[in-house]
């Protein structure tokens, strides 16, 4: 089993990992020899901030309160990764923890995959329908995503294909993009695949965003699918994005992150209750860095997943509550899917979520004829398509409002409150708070702008 080892080495080692101006120590320099673990020497150690209560009388062990995150050498920890033999795995983990006082946690590093649709139903409408439903109200207010960094964390982007389908050139911000070690190819030139579809579906809403290409899912080990990736690479990607965000002045700070992937099976994870479990545990390193990035100012969106009861993807392995891990994190917007007739698609995962009960948060459009990434007649489908459509809406709003003007949590609240109620009255586990309603959202954003301007 692959594992992530969270360590607290000497302060000077932590400082060297945190400091971007010096060469990052190798995994062996950080961890030395870990008995029973085959350490991955190619994985660059990642710093993890320490969550702390905002208020002096807060509970230092609780994540259910306002938090700040510290990367000071005396607070931060460092992640390395490796593989432990499955045979006697529990005994090996217990022995390792007892022998090394600098190990503060061992977590699962489950495989993650993209979330394509099930079935072979034809498209319902096309991307021009989505533009009319979602984009017109935004354009009337001048909200087009201009200059907003929008990270597509997926299988990479193909600019030539996007430009051909959209009818005008598309660029990526290569200087601020990131890829895992060992992934070959240039930013914006990866094969047409799931990541290109996601980029397209965000651009039809917010045409002027600054795309960041983050092909985490191309970091595949030999396995059963071509899209398999590792959660530890997503941690590295998020650490990179966090560094970019922290460099921005708060009055101009903004970044949107679209994630159309997730964990499908509990067998890929430690069991619930284990301190290293990912699916149900907010203290897992990836779930912690999601929280830290959101506090820093990122708007993070995750697809709810394709394990709806009517038409689940064949890989779904959770017997219930399939929205798990970061896809159900309280600090992200979890996105369900509806077709262009406002009907929930049968494969869209229903709540409650595992990290936060009220998941999904909202729904938006999918299963339309769009990018043609998978062929001329294949729809952009799954909550994989709905998530970047919603990310485009968020990026459009951010073109006029920075984090200082409107925090990510307040923006999520505006999106929920302005949503068009669907399904059962009020919140329900099929549609969340409802379908994204951009005319109502624009009204709410306009009021925020007036309030910020003062009398």
Question: Please, what sign has the CA dihedral across residues 225, 231, 232, 237?
Answer: positive
Tell me the CA end-to-end span of the chain in Å, nearest whole number.
60
H or E stretch including 266?
A: none
Q: For 246, what's the count of Cα atoms within 13 Å in the CB-facing half-sphere? A: 14
Residue 69 phi/psi, 5° resolution? -130, 130
DSSP state of 233: H
Distance of CA 102 to the CA centre of its chain: 29
> What is residue 190's three-state secondary structure?
coil
The length of the chain is 455
Give CA–CA dist 49/70, Å, rounded.
5
DSSP state of 287: H
> What is residue 311's three-state secondary structure?
coil
Q: Which of 129, 154, 201, 213 is catalytic?
A: 154
DSSP string, 131-153: IIIIIHHHHHTT-S-TT-EEEEE
214 beta partners:
153
> Which structure tokens are listed for 158?
């193909």
194 as an active site residue: the answer is yes
CA distances from 69 to 31, 142, 242 (A): 23, 35, 12
DSSP state of 115: -
233 as an active site residue: the answer is no
Q: Which of 232, 258, 378, 384 is catalytic?
A: 384
Q: Quick one: three-class SS letters along 369-394?
A: ECCCCCCCCCCECHHHHHHHHHHHHH
Q: Of the candidates 273, 383, 276, which has an alpha carbon nearest to the alpha carbon of residue 332? A: 383
H or E stretch including 112?
A: strand 111-114
> Which structure tokens are listed for 267?
């067998």
Residue 73 phi/psi, 5° resolution? -60, -30
Residue 179 near residue 101 (C-beta atoms within 8 A): no
Give CA–CA dist 38/85, Å, rounded.
9
349 as an active site residue: the answer is no
Q: Which of 161, 194, 240, 284 is catalytic?
A: 194
Catalytic machinery residues: 154, 194, 384
């Amino acid at each position: 089993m692959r594992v992530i080892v969270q360590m607290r080495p000497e302060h000077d080692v932590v400082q060297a990992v945190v400091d971007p101006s010096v060469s990052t120590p190798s995994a062996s320099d950080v961890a030395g020899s870990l008995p029973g673990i085959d350490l991955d020497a190619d994985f660059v150690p990642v710093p993890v901030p320490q969550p702390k209560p905002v208020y002096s009388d807060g509970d230092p062990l609780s994540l259910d309160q306002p938090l700040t995150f510290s990367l000071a050498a005396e607070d931060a920890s460092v992640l390395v990764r490796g593989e432990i033999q499955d045979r006697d795995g529990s005994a090996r983990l217990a022995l390792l923890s007892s022998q090394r006082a600098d190990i503060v946690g061992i977590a699962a590093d489950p495989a993650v995959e993209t979330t394509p649709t099930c079935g072979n139903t034809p498209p319902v409408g096309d991307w021009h329908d989505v533009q009319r439903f979602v984009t017109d109200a935004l354009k009337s207010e001048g909200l087009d995503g201009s200059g907003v960094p929008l990270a597509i964390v997926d299988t990479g982007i193909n600019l030539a294909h996007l430009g051909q389908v959209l009818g005008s050139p598309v660029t990526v911000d290569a200087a601020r993009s990131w890829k895992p070690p060992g992934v070959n190819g240039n930013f914006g030139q990866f094969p047409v695949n799931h990541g290109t579809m996601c980029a397209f579906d965000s651009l039809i809403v917010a045409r002027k965003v600054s795309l960041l290409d983050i092909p985490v899912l191309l970091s595949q080990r030999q396995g059963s699918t071509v899209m398999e990736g590792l959660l530890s690479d997503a941690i590295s990607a998020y650490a990179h994005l966090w560094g970019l965000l922290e460099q921005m002045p708060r009055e101009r700070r903004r970044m949107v992150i679209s994630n159309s992937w997730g964990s499908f099976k509990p067998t890929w994870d430690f069991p619930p209750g284990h301190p290293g479990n990912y699916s149900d545990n907010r203290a897992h390193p990836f779930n912690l860095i999601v929280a830290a990035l959101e506090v820093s100012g990122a708007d993070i969106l995750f697809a709810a997943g394709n394990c709806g009861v009517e038409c689940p993807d064949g890989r779904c392995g959770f017997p219930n509550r399939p929205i798990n891990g970061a896809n159900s994190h309280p600090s992200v917007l979890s996105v369900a899917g509806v077709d262009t007739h406002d009907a929930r698609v049968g494969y869209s995962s229903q709540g409650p979520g595992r990290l936060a009960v009220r998941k999904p948060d909202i729904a938006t459009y999918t299963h339309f004829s769009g990018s043609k990434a998978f062929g001329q007649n294949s729809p952009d489908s799954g909550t994989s398509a709905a998530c970047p459509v919603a990310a485009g809406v968020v990026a459009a709003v951010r073109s006029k409002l920075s984090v200082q003007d409107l925090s990510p949590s307040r923006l999520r609240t505006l999106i929920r409150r302005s949503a068009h109620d669907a399904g059962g009255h009020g919140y329900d586990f099929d549609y969340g708070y409802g379908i994204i309603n951009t005319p109502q959202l624009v009204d709410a954003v306009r009021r925020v702008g007036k309030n910020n301007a003062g009398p």
